[in-house]
Amino acid sequence: MLRLEKRFPCYNAVHKMGAEAGDEVVLVYLRDLYSSVTTPEKELQAFARVELAPGETRTVELQVAYERLALVNQELETVVEPGEFEVMVGGSSRDCDLLKTTFVVVS
């Protein structure tokens, strides 16, 4: 559970398989599963470009602030609503490329 006014880390292991050094981009998307208003199904919240040597594996940590969970409600107030969120991490926005889990925000 995530209490309001906190940050939370997202971790992803990245591995370079080819014979050449290269970059990989790690993307973090969030989705509010039960909100009082319509919200995007997938919204980019953080990203990092990582340089990797051939065969190198690195764990990437991206911090997401609770403010990134905010929405504008029916009263036109910017709020973070308690509830369940889905976090998706990967190298592209395609569902098949994303690792997914959920977390709960409590007030």
Q: How far is CA 104 from the centre of its chain?
A: 14
Residue 15 has pLDDT above 50, yes or no: yes
Q: Determine the 3-state secondary structure of 66 from DSSP.
A: helix
Characterize the bridge pairing of strands 71-72 and 2-3. Answer: unpaired
- Model pTM? 0.84
Given a contact cutoff of 8 angstroms between Cβ atoms, the answer to whether 2 and 66 are in contact is yes
Given a contact cutoff of 8 angstroms between Cβ atoms, the answer to whether 80 and 70 are in contact is yes
Query: What DSSP element (H or E) covers 36?
Result: none
Residue 1 has pLDDT above 50, yes or no: no
Residue 7 has pLDDT above 50, yes or no: yes
Q: What are the pLDDT digits (tens) for 39-84?
A: 999 999 999 999 999 989 999 999 888 889 999 999 999 999 999 9
Residue 38 has pLDDT above 70, yes or no: yes
∠ CA 87-81-85, rounded to 5°:
15
Instruction: Give the whole-angstrom CA distance, residue 88 versus residue 72.
Output: 22
Characterize the bridge pairing of strands 57-65 and 7-15. Answer: antiparallel
Report the percentage of the chain scoring pLDDT > 70.
95
